[in-house]
Amino acid sequence: MNNLTTIFREKKLKLTPQRIAVYKYLISTKKHPSAEIIYKALQEDYPTMSLATVYKTLKTLTDVKLIQEINVGEGNFRYDANIIPHPHIKCIECSRVDDIEGISFSHLNNEIKDLTDYNIIGNKVYFYGICKSCQDKLSSH
Ligand SMILES: [Zn+2]
Ligand SMILES: [Zn+2]
């Protein structure tokens, strides 16, 4: 966390309390929170920070590629401070979103390039299923 100043300087971003708070919060979680969840989580420590500010801050952090937006088929984005390309899996029961570790689909970019006339920038792969705790809940009924 002590290199936050360096990271922001490299990205030519001004270190504002809001940016630090949002970024720190995202680094601390693997839950892929939405803007609303981040807003609620920070409300106690930053009571003057509005939801609009959270959205604006998330957009700024996304633009400089400090965080990534993910869209698992909901009306809004979720956010991830892990910017290394990785697939996600969403539970269709409780809506939790997890990282899938140990596999990458980056090699598909070249295959897709061959199949289309596109210059491929990247891909985002989402899987859907039922998480362990929801499986347990469902089978206990
Ligand atoms: Zn679940
Ligand atoms: Zn992730």
Q: Taking the alpha carbons of 128, 132, 133, 136 in that order, is the dihedral positive or negative?
A: positive
Residue 47: other Cβ atoms inside 10 A: 7
Domains observed in the chain: 1-83 (1.10.10.10), 84-141 (3.30.1490.190)
Provide the pLDDT for residue 2.
Answer: 55
How many angstroms separate the alpha carbon of residue 126 from the centre of ligand 2?
10
37-56: pLDDT as tens digits: 999 999 999 999 999 999 99
Residue 94 is labelled as binding a ligand? yes
CA of 10 to the centre of ligand 2 (A): 23
Query: Is 91 marked as a binding-site residue?
Result: yes
Alpha carbon of 80 to ligand 2 centroid (Å): 5
Contact 51, 57 (CB under 8 A): no
Tell me, in angstroms, the distance from the centre of ligand 1 to residue 20's CA: 30
Mean pLDDT of the chain: 93
What pLDDT score does 19 carry? Answer: 95
SS3 label, residue 11 = coil
* pTM attached to this predicted model: 0.87
